[in-house]
Amino acid sequence: MDIKYPLVSVLISAYNHEMYVQETIKSLISQAYQNIELIVFDDGSSDSTWKKIQELEDDCKKRFVNTYFVTKANEGTCVTINKMLDISAGKYVYMIASDDKAKPEAIQKEVYFLEKNPEYALVVGNNEFIDSSGNLCYWGKNKNIVYDREKAKYKTFGEYLQKVKRISFTSKNFGLYETLYWGNYIPNGYLIRKTILNEIGPFTKEAPLEDWYMMLQISKYSKMKYLNEVLFSYRWHDKNTIKQKEKIDNYVRRTREYEKKILNKVSYEDILPSARKIKYIISLKEKKYHLLAYYFCMLWSFLKIKRIRQTVYVCWKKVMCMLINNE
């Protein structure tokens, strides 16, 4: 590659993944890209995760520029990521869950893109599915594991996300704030500029869906890119957090409420046009009593004078004028 080789900080927040964490670390040892530091924090696991991590310490010290292995009391993902970011020295940050795997060319290809395209803050590729044993698999209609490719509903995680979120990842809409505000759809295995993480500030427990929260902050200020090739293995097993619907629904609600507070504080001039749209829509909702008043006027006029076309036109004109004046 005709580029420089900046340092990449790989962060792993590990928790109760004794069966998988070594596969995760080994996938990083096998990266084609060489200039990597590895930071692994065990977040108070109750199983043998920490022991499994320690077993690979010597191999990691030989492979990586810097190696940090830390175990601590359980504090949650947000606090753990903040601590790892504090000691990271890379120009870029690569985050990976302790049960997933990165393809050998993943970091190399993503670094290449960001080095060539400074206007982007994040790049990510597609994800294949693997089962608890590391075997390639696919998803059926209800996200059940299917091994016959021809019978599968979704071959990759990217295909699933594009279908349910109704967005083309190769379009200009990928990574826009106005599309991310309604839910996260960024696949796993992303590389991020450290500068944008410094700009958006630390993660917070008030926004417990830390990945979605991070995507919302990044999309306010910069662009994201999707590489249409599989660069990551997303493990689907019995203990995936995403399967805990009630917990996730609560996290979504809390994260969105916190995001509204942040969005209200930022100025229109500081954020990208896509984020301005959502900020404006939220401001209109706060003034919804004005709209309700005009809707009532429209109904009353219709009942009183039955001149339907003229009544609708006059009232709609009033509504539009109100919106413009409050812009």
Length of the chain: 327
Q: Are 101 and 19 in contact (CB under 8 A)?
A: no
User: Nearest-CA neighbor of 34 among 5, 1, 56?
Assistant: 5
Contacts for 271 with CB less than 8 Å, ≥ 6 apart: 177, 220, 221, 279
CA dihedral 98, 104, 105, 110 (to 10 degrees): 20
Please tell me the predicted confidence (pLDDT) of residue 312. Answer: 58
Tell me whether strands 136-139 and 145-146 are parallel, antiparallel or unpaired: antiparallel
Tell me whether strands 223-235 and 120-130 are parallel, antiparallel or unpaired: parallel
Contacts for 180 with CB less than 8 Å, ≥ 6 apart: 186, 212, 215, 216, 219
Q: Is 100 helix (H, G, I), strand (E, B) or coil?
A: coil
Residue position matching structure tokens 């003229």: 310
Please tell me the predicted confidence (pLDDT) of residue 294. Answer: 47
Rounded Cα distance between 124 and 119, Å, is: 15
Contacts of residues 246-252 at CB distance under 8 Å and 24 or more positions apart, as own/partner, are 248/209, 251/208, 251/209, 252/183, 252/209, 252/212
Contacts for 47 with CB less than 8 Å, ≥ 6 apart: 16, 18
pTM: 0.85
Please tell me the predicted confidence (pLDDT) of residue 4. Answer: 77
Burial class of residue 272, CB neighbours in 10 A (0-12, 13-18, 19+)? middle
Please count the other Cβ atoms lying within 10 Å of the Cβ belonging to residue 200.
17
| Phi, psi values for residue 64, rounded to 5° | -100, 155
* Apex 248 CA angle, 245 and 250, nearest 5: 110
Print pLDDT tens along the chain (327 aa). Answer: 446 799 999 999 999 999 999 999 999 999 999 999 999 999 999 999 999 999 999 999 999 999 999 999 999 999 999 999 999 999 999 999 999 999 999 999 999 999 999 999 999 999 999 999 999 999 999 999 999 999 999 999 999 999 999 999 999 999 999 999 999 999 999 999 999 999 999 999 999 999 999 999 999 999 999 999 999 999 999 766 555 788 899 999 999 999 999 999 999 999 999 999 888 877 766 665 555 554 555 455 445 444 555 555 556 555 555 554 554
Rounded Cα distance between 56 and 327, Å, is: 58
Please tell me the predicted confidence (pLDDT) of residue 46. Answer: 98
Rounded Cα distance between 272 and 176, Å, is: 9
